Chains A and B, each alone.
Chain A
């Protein structure tokens, strides 16, 4: 309990430090952020495919809305924890972080949050340009259930962070755990709704995808932001996200505790 209080007190400072670091490495940051271009490609591909009529239950406007939302959700929930942990654990930099009186994961969380203003800064012109190209993408903004969207987005952020923490911790045993993360990412691409709406999947795979955490990483907040989920369905999406966030959080805590106990620092 004491630890948590201390962390909470340090939190504003941590955020400020994170922000300062972001400003210092802004050029590098812009490039990292630009690597998430997949929604743009998919938007072009699907808009070409929808030129001669609706695709499943999505017409051209709905597809445009969907992929603009995908771009936004991807940027706001993005995180680089698994790469940073892999590098820090291998080089020994992580041992220094462990010496600090605040849990390193909380520091990483603060850094990840501190990037968000920059991501927004980059998103605004990008989304603006997309809306000029497809004005219809903004049509459904009136129907968006904003509170469920915000909650679902938070859940997606947490799931992503916890999963990356879990996989990052595997590097305590293996030194290198990016291989397994790449498998996770390949699964994510198809079953999260990142490259096409889940309702276009064949029924069997669709059932798996919709129950999986992947759907709550992307599909749920995206469908909320594109105004497709209302009322009970919206809250159901929030509930599923919260459940997976909780499960992943518990998983991350367990793996973290065992990993740190197992960790023999490089040079120690």
Chain B
């Protein structure tokens, strides 16, 4: 256990040092992130220029959903995407064997070792949008609401990690799956909008099958004080289920993997 923690700490320190080595690029990317985010908020203003409320969401409330989306997107591209995308590369060029040789759980190793803190400003900007939107709400969220929203965002991150793990696990068979991860990130875009904008089967799909709505709309609903603790528990259960499925897919894939050199 101690060894695992030590290894994790070393990997994360290495990632932070790498990011600091490219300071100019870091500030450049941060600036760029802010500009792009301001720009991606424009559709909400255009849409709500026409209507005061759509499907039970005012402009500021929809902004809350978008802020949660940007926050998760930033965290995903800092903590999840680069790590799991690297696995695909390692399987292809054979360096994945080095991961397997180390005495630390491979899933844990690949989940941290390409972490890129340079993308954290993006997440911070998302947090900024969430706070700004909260201040515009008629009734500011209470402490309990904020805690529930935090829990749901955390479980959203777990689900994202599991979804990426599921995709990457197929790399052991198909080798080329970078396009699948692109497809995944593109599909996640539906999470920019409140879940009630989607109807019927699509809404069910986005709540339980690929629970994108659960990741972004539910935290926003928690901040609006619309969620009961029971529903939050359900969200956590979904996240747990996804994590277990991800773990299962990963271990199954590893058992089938015959390594590059044997």
Which residue of chain B lies nearest to A197 when distances are taken between CB atoms in the complex? B46
In angstroms, Cα B36 to Cα A182, docked, is 9
Task: Decide if A195 touches B198 in the complex (CB within 8 Å).
Answer: no
B189: which of A31, A38, A46, A55 is its contact (CB, 8 Å)?
Answer: A38
Given A44-B202, A179-B32: A49 in contact with B47 (beta carbons within 8 A): yes
The reply to whether A190 and B50 form a contact with Cβ atoms under 8 Å apart is: no
Q: Which residues of B contact A202 (CB under 8 A)?
A: 46, 49
Contact with B along A196-210 (1 / 0, CB 8 A): 100011100100000
What A residues does B51 contact at CB under 8 A?
A: 49, 52, 55
Partner of A186, one of B40, B50, B182, B190: B40
Cβ A49 vs Cβ B54 within 8 A: yes
Contact with A along B188-208 (1 / 0, CB 8 A): 011001000111001000000
By secondary structure, the B interface counts as helix
Complex CA distance for A182 and B202, rounded to whole angstroms: 29
Residue of A nearest to B180 (CB): A31
Residues of A within 8 A of B202 (CB): 44
Residue of B nearest to A25 (CB): B176
A200 vs B198: C-alpha distance when bound (angstroms): 22
Query: Quick one: which of A243-261 are within 8 Å of B by CB?
Result: none
- Checking B46, B54, B183 against A201 with a beta-carbon cut-off of 8 angstroms, the contacting residue is B46
CB contacts (< 8 Å) of B55 on chain A: these are: 48
A182 contacts which chain B residues (CB < 8 A)? Answer: 32, 36
B186 near A: Cβ within 8 Å?
Answer: yes
**Size bracket of the A interface:** 20 to 34
Given contacts A48-B55, A49-B54, contact A35 B183 (CB under 8 A): yes
Looking at the assembled complex, report how far the CB atom of B63 sits from the nearest CB atom of chain A, in whole angstroms. Answer: 15
Chain B: residues with Cβ within 8 Å of the partner, total of: 29
CB contact under 8 A between A45 and B187, given known A28-B179, A186-B39: no
Contacts of B189 in A (CB 8 A): 37-38, 41
Inter-subunit contact B190/A41 (CB<8 Å): yes
Pick the residue among B50, B180, B182, B187 that contacts A49 (CB under 8 A): B50
Q: Which residues of chain B come closer than 8 Å to A36, judged between CB atoms?
A: 186
- Which partner residue on chain B sits nearest A44 by CB separation? B198
Decide if B183 touches A31 in the complex (CB within 8 Å): yes
Given B39, B50, B179, which contacts A32 in the complex, CB threshold below 8 Å? B179
- Bound-state CA distance A130–B255 (Å) is 43
**Contact between B47 and A196, CB atoms less than 8 A apart:** yes
Q: A28-B176, A179-B32 are in contact. Are A45 and B197 (CB under 8 A)?
A: yes
> Which residues of chain B from 51 to 98 have a CB within 8 Å of any chain A CB?
51, 54-55
Closest A residue, CB atoms, query B51: A49
- For window 27-63 of A, CB contacts with B under 8 Å fall at 28, 31-32, 34-38, 41, 44-46, 48-49, 52, 55-56
A85-126 at interface with B (beta carbon < 8 Å): none
**Among B50, B54, B186, B199, contact of A35 (Cβ-Cβ < 8 Å):** B186
B179 lies within 8 A of A31 (CB) = yes
Q: Whole-angstrom distance between the alpha carbons of A36 and B32 in the complex?
A: 23
Which residues 193-247 in A have Cβ within 8 Å of B in the complex?
195-196, 200-202, 205
Residue of B nearest to A36 (CB): B186
Could you tell me which B residues sit within 8 Å of A by CB distance?
29, 32, 35-36, 39-40, 42-43, 46-47, 49-51, 54-55, 176, 179-180, 182-183, 186-187, 189-190, 193, 197-199, 202
A-B pairs with lowest CB-CB distance, top 10: A186-B36, A31-B179, A35-B186, A55-B50, A48-B197, A190-B42, A200-B46, A186-B39, A49-B54, A41-B190
Between-chain CB contacts (< 8 Å), 9 pairs: A31-B179, A38-B189, A44-B197, A45-B47, A46-B47, A48-B198, A49-B50, A190-B39, A202-B46
Given contacts A41-B193, A183-B36, 17 further A-B contacts (CB under 8 A): A34-B183, A35-B179, A37-B189, A45-B47, A45-B197, A48-B54, A49-B50, A52-B51, A182-B36, A183-B32, A186-B36, A187-B39, A189-B39, A190-B42, A196-B43, A200-B50, A202-B49
